C-alpha cells in the first residue's frame, strides 16, 4: 500500500501593519478616528473608499497603536481627535474644533493636504509618527 504525501497549503503572507505614534494630543477625552487609504480620491475622508481601514482608538491609548494594511502599497493616514465621541469632526464655521493629523505631517494650509504629501510606502511593517494640530 502506497502512502500519499499530505499536501499542505502555503500559509498566506502576513498582513503588513503600520505602527502609529501620535503626539500633541491636548487631552485624553474621547477617541481618535483613524483612516488608512490607498485611494487618493478618498483622502482624507475614507467614507468613499470601501477598501479603506477605519478604526477608533481611545484617546487615552493613542500614544502607540497598529493599523493593519490590506497589502503592501502606497497609503495615507488621517486622524481626527473626536473629543466628544460623536464619530465626526466638529466644525465652527469652516474651522475644525477638534484636532487632526496626517501621516508624514505635511504643512497645513487652507483645507486638508493632498494624498501625495501624506502618502508613504508600506512594504511589510512600517512606522509613522503623527503630530496633532488644533485650530481652535
Question: How does pLDDT run across 63-72, given as a tens digit for each residue?
Answer: 999 999 999 9
State pTM to two decimals: 0.88
Does the structure show a pLDDT above 60 at 78?
yes
Contact between 82 and 107 (Cβ < 8 Å)? no
Mean pLDDT taken over the chain:
91
User: What is the pLDDT at residue 107?
Assistant: 93
Coil vs helix vs strand at 30: coil
pLDDT tens-digit series, residues 3-43: 655 555 555 667 899 999 999 999 999 999 999 999 999 99
C-alpha to C-alpha distance for 96 and 80, rounded to whole angstroms:
10
Give which of 104, 99, 106 is closest to 126, Cα–Cα: 104
Amino acid at each position: 500500500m502506497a502512502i500519499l504525501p499530505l499536501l499542505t497549503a502555503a500559509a498566506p503572507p502576513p498582513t503588513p501593519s503600520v505602527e502609529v505614534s501620535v503626539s500633541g494630543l491636548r487631552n485624553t477625552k474621547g477617541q481618535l478616528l483613524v483612516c488608512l487609504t490607498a485611494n487618493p480620491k478618498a483622502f482624507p475622508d475614507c467614507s468613499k473608499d470601501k477598501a479603506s481601514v477605519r478604526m477608533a482608538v481611545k484617546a487615552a491609548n493613542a500614544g502607540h497603536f497598529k493599523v493593519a494594511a490590506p497589502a503592501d502599497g502606497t497609503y495615507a493616514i488621517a486622524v481626527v481627535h473626536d473629543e466628544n465621541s460623536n464619530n465626526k469632526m466638529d466644525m465652527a464655521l469652516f474651522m475644525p474644533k477638534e484636532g487632526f493629523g496626517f501621516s508624514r505631517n505635511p504643512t497645513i494650509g487652507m483645507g486638508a493636504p493632498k494624498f501625495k504629501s501624506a502618502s508613504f510606502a508600506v512594504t511589510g511593517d512600517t512606522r509613522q509618527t503623527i503630530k496633532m494640530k488644533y485650530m481652535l
